[in-house]
Amino acid sequence: MKDPGNEPHFTLHTSHATLEEEAQKPVAQEKPTGPFVVVGLGNPGMEYVWTPHNAGFMAIDRIAQQERVAVQNRRCKALTGAARIANREVILAKPETFMNLSGLSVAALLKEFEIEPEERGKRLVVLYDELDLPLGTVKIKERGSPAGHNGARSITGALGSNEWLRIRIGVGPNLPAEAIAAGAQMGRRVRGGKDYLLDPMSKKDLAVLDEVLDRVAIAVRMIVDLGPAAAMNEFNRRD
């Protein structure tokens, strides 16, 4: 009889290098289910169409144009349209409540499309103008204070939280502080704040914004397809 202790045996062995390689592999993030809701903020009415405060509306119109959909169905106090982006349903919306009451429409949209609080950073994207960012810039944030923006303040109030994904479109005038001060000293009216936001943009500024709207559309597609982290990594480092 053979001695069992003398029988050859084999042991499966995983090297430390292999374990390290496995640990370094990126963990796939779970994609959200259900439609995305992309809301652009602005004011309804022809007198506001080309104003800086309507940059969010302009962004929705650009996405709708590229996706060949119409944003004209009235629901949840907004004009809406359904697009298909990265094989996901995306609801494009422009609230008709005027800027200061944007939260009423956003809250209604979240209820309509069953977006729970923990999903707001993945399935809700709000596009709006930002006076504190210079014209030509785009910034993506997952949370934060309204920073003086009435539409963002309305959304935060309606949702009871700052935890929602937003793309801020810079519309701030490219004027250094010295130029503003010099203008005031010479008696010239240098507009800012509400006056600036609600006056039609110049052709030169609209040309700059036109390029930005294409970038916003790309950012939205990246969020839908790859998630907000990938979009922030791409767009926040550019500007």
SS (H, E, C) 44-101: CCHHHCCCHHHHHHHHHHHHHHHHCCCCCEEECCEEEEEEEECCEEEEEEEECCCHHH
Instruction: Report if residue 121 sits inside a domain.
Output: yes
Please tell me the total number of residues recorded for the chain in this structure: 239
3 has pLDDT over 80: no
Instruction: Report if residue 12 sits inside a domain.
Output: no
The enclosing domain of 73 has a CATH number of 3.40.50.1470
Rounded to 5, what percent of the chain is helix, strand, coil? 45, 20, 35
Domain housing 148: 32-235
152-170 tens-digit pLDDT: 999 999 999 999 999 999 9
Instruction: Report if residue 122 sits inside a domain.
Output: yes
Termini Cα distance of the chain: 79
Q: Which of 9, 13, 53, 149 is catalytic?
A: 53
189 has pLDDT over 60: no
9 is catalytic: no
Domain tally, the chain: 1
Q: Is 124 exposed, middle or buried (CB count within 10 Å of its CB: 0-12, 13-18, 19+)?
A: buried
**Residue 187 pLDDT:** 36
